[in-house]
Chains A and B, each alone.
Chain A
Amino acid sequence: MPGDGSLEQLRREGRIVVVGASLAGLRAAETLREKGFAGTLTMIGDEPHEPYDRPPLSKQVLLGKAAADRTALPRSRAVDATWRLGVPATGLDMAARRVRLADGDEVPYDRLLIATGVRARPWPREAEAELDGVFVLRTREDSAALARRLAAGPKRVLVIGAGFTGSEIASACRERGLPVTVAERGAAPLVGALGGVVGAVAAEMQREHGVDLRCGVMVTALEGDASGRVRAAHLSDGSTVETDVVIVSLGAFRNTEWLAGSGLGAGPRGIACDAGCRAFDIRGIVTDDIYAAGDVARCPHPLFGYQFLSLEHWGNAVTQAGVAAHNMLSESTDRIPHMEVPAFWSSQFGVNIKSVGVPSMGTEILISQGSLKDHRFTGVYGYQGRVIGAVSFDHARWLPFYQELIETTAPFPPPFTTVDRRPDGQRPLDADFPDPSVPTHGPTVTLSGYSPADRRMTFTPAH
């Protein structure tokens, strides 16, 4: 209760448990200590490692320029926590305020932060997924094993799915001089996140770098040899790709299964929470002791019609963790909302790709600076007459300007000229996003849910 000293007691001697020992979990722990939390802090992680950074795993590590076990996240301060690493959480008792662990232990909490993130979506046919040479890429072990295999010089690499991770892997393979085939169900790489206009540029980049890019196809089966090594993939167009390394890059599952039946509003789309990162229970009532942050959280964003956004973005994990940690220790009037404008980056085929806002909400795109042909441009996305997102290819230094346009719901198309406006930037184009009902590798931003006033709000139960 506000003013009754309970918050003071929590700060002094409370028990905070963080489930998920990666970027969001670590940053939350650091923020808690920075804000003066003096009680006990327990960090639970299913991986055996202390928090490490993932972006290099699909870039420098695959190029052999960094070791997979050397990407530990730098610490901004000591967190003085009890680490329970290599032990997944398996259940939550909201009434008793306890987290159950796989080893049978139970950890009591006064405040809980869930930052369990996502895991790679595996190849759906289990027997084929087991073949030697078939990889996913999410963890340090995944990356180390894949890097070793790439260093051994495979005859041909097949990447299934041309989202950001798949495209970065293909780029790393080409930089290593390895033959690569990329199979993408959509019409172009990155099409789910950035639309067809930009996807066409991504396709051109891949082909110019020697990638055998096949769009509009699915991999129907993986075939192994007698010794259980993958040797070929069969495609929906009837063709066969002979390959000895297959990377399944089909997006991610949110790690919420352990919450099934707990009563928390958690499901395949993540954990619904309010703008202050407090998790909803399954009845749509906000809890006051359970928070969520990072890839696993989905929360309403006032800039985007209060739609629930779940973002698999590095920067989002950092700021959301900070907001959650702050709010855990604050009176209700001192709490802050998570209002960060989404942003992400990728590095592939020598090009720095960066985005702000939510391009996938856009219906139109204007190439406001530079040119698609040069693969160096800024594209601004419009939705119902306003600027909703922007993307840059080797033009990142302009993005703060476009972020301001998004934050101020500036009109689209922007009614002014800019430096470096080319003929193809005179009028908006159809952004050409795929029909959302057709599954693809999955955009990195998923929009779901309805306005808070909409009574049709439902949660999809787990499984």
Chain B
Amino acid sequence: MTQSLLHQILDYTNRANPYPIYEELRKTPVHHEGDGPYVISTYHEIRSLLHDPRISSDARNLASQATDPLPETSQEEGALPPGFLKLDPPEHDRLRRMTNRPFGPPHSPHRVDGMRGELHDIVTGLIDGIGDPGRIDLVEQFSYPFPVTVICRLLGVPREDEARFHTWADTLAASLDPDPDADPAERGKGAHDARMQLGMYLAGLIEERRKNPGDDMLSQLATAKGEDGPMTTMELLSTAALLLIAGHETTVNLITNGMLTLLRHPDVLQRLREDPRLAVPLVEELLRFEPPVQLVPQRTTLADIEVRGVTIPKGASLWLVLASGNRDPQRFDDPNRFDPDRPDIQHLGLGSGIHSCFGAPLARLETQLALSELARRLENPRLLEDPPPYRQNAVLRGPRHLHITCDGIRPR
């Protein structure tokens, strides 16, 4: 019996290469099975819907009969109010605007660029600490710790607390990616405890920063004097949780997918080694070719809307398959080719519209630095297994481990 396309996407056996399924999916740009979500897979339709004000990100607008085939665990959070990712304007706009104030232009144009030196030092330290070059798990030893450290520095978590922060982040990330053989009750409790401890830790830190504000984001958010005023502690907690979760797993996957892709394209790796400026277009092509967020599963319609002749009823659940739009031959020539020299690369890898990736400038810089330093310092790196083992998660898709070997580590 042939499996439905939706189940094929979710089926773990297809995790290493979902792209043939997406190709099949694009034959029906608006795909709908039973009472499942309406799955949109073609570039132009996804892009339109990302800018469509009849589409809500607020789950409260979902009709009750719409069912979500994604495992429960991908919908984390719990006690905290939803972060701006899951809100509509005007609440979304207000929280995102406030969060952006200490992060990006116009008020903080230098925040991300000012972290360049620090990011470089973190990357250098992680590569220095690799140990045996004969067998490296790039995920464990590099991709995973890097973004958590960056978020700690961004939020202003004291250095001595970073290790605790890493532990909580690991537990939460694991809960996003359940091992099917583990006991779900045990796992749920672990995640719950980690969330509680992290929340209490952050609440304490926020209290402290309100009294003695520094230059970090948490301080700035807690003491903002703009038209919107400072955030409440609850808003701050949910925003910090959002930054941690949305900014972590995605960046891990982007870096790991990046190294995997480079090791599969040694000519490009060699070019990057010779010219680190290639990192900029390369990361854009990577966001097209292997986007860390494969699909946006949490949108719903506020009205009946017509897409390519199909009427999607009000209250329906939508999936926007970004990774499929990125390989749409109607938009990109030879879409299954990894080509960092593409002259026209408006990919959907970071989304578009009001929910487009908040941390994009930071994620780009992190990945550019990570890949160019790995290319420069790892001598003759090779994959030990291809494809590598993947995480369960079909949405935040990426390898669980990336075992590589190299002849040595070049000095700094």
Are A420 and B90 in contact, with the CB atoms below 8 A?
yes
- The verdict on A368 contacting B93 (CB below 8 Å), with A401-B48, A419-B88 known, is no
Answer yes or no: A444 CB below 8 A from chain B CBs: no
Answer yes or no: B353 CB below 8 A from chain A CBs: yes
Could you give, for residues 38-70 of chain B, a 1 whenever the CB lies within 8 Å of some chain A CB and a 0 otherwise? 000000000110011111100000000000000
From the candidates A378, A397, A401, A416, name the one contacting B303 in the complex (CB within 8 A): A416
Residues of A within 8 A of B356 (CB): 397
State A418–B353 Cα separation when bound (angstroms). Answer: 14
Answer yes or no: B131 CB below 8 A from chain A CBs: no
| Residues 403-449 of A contacting B (Cβ, < 8 Å) | 404, 416-420
Answer yes or no: A171 CB below 8 A from chain B CBs: no
State A275–B302 Cα separation when bound (angstroms). Answer: 39
- The verdict on A369 contacting B48 (CB below 8 Å), with A397-B356, A416-B305, A417-B303 known, is no
Residues of A within 8 A of B55 (CB): 419
Are A397 and B54 in contact, with the CB atoms below 8 A?
no
State A315–B352 Cα separation when bound (angstroms). Answer: 20
- The verdict on A368 contacting B89 (CB below 8 Å), with A397-B354, A401-B48, A419-B302 known, is no
Separation in Å of the B377 CB from the closest CB of chain A? 33
Q: How many residues of A contact B (CB 8 A)?
A: 18
State A420–B305 Cα separation when bound (angstroms). Answer: 17
Separation in Å of the A175 CB from the closest CB of chain B? 11
State A401–B53 Cα separation when bound (angstroms). Answer: 8
Residues of A within 8 A of B88 (CB): 419-420
Answer yes or no: A267 CB below 8 A from chain B CBs: no
From the candidates A368, A397, A401, A418, name the one contacting B302 in the complex (CB within 8 A): A418
Answer yes or no: A48 CB below 8 A from chain B CBs: no
Residues of A within 8 A of B48 (CB): 400-401, 404
Residues of B within 8 A of A416 (CB): 54, 302-305
Separation in Å of the B313 CB from the closest CB of chain A? 13
State A370–B89 Cα separation when bound (angstroms). Answer: 8
- Give the residue name and chain of the A residue nearest to B343 (CB): A76
Are A418 and B51 in contact, with the CB atoms below 8 A?
no
Separation in Å of the A79 CB from the closest CB of chain B? 18
- Give the residue name and chain of the B residue nearest to A404 (CB): B48
Answer yes or no: A229 CB below 8 A from chain B CBs: no
Separation in Å of the B325 CB from the closest CB of chain A? 15
From the candidates A350, A374, A376, A398, name the one contacting B53 in the complex (CB within 8 A): A398
State A463–B305 Cα separation when bound (angstroms). Answer: 53
Residues of B within 8 A of A378 (CB): 53
From the candidates B51, B56, B93, B106, name the one contacting A401 in the complex (CB within 8 A): B51
- Give the residue name and chain of the A residue nearest to B90 (CB): A420
| Residues 286-342 of B contacting A (Cβ, < 8 Å) | 302-305
Are B53 and A419 in contact, with the CB atoms below 8 A?
yes
The 3 closest A-B pairs by CB, nearest first: A418-B53, A420-B89, A416-B303
Give me 13 A-to-B residue pairs in the complex whose CB atoms sit less than 8 angstroms apart, sorted by A's number.
A369-B53, A376-B90, A376-B93, A397-B51, A400-B48, A400-B353, A401-B48, A416-B302, A416-B304, A419-B55, A419-B56, A419-B89, A420-B89
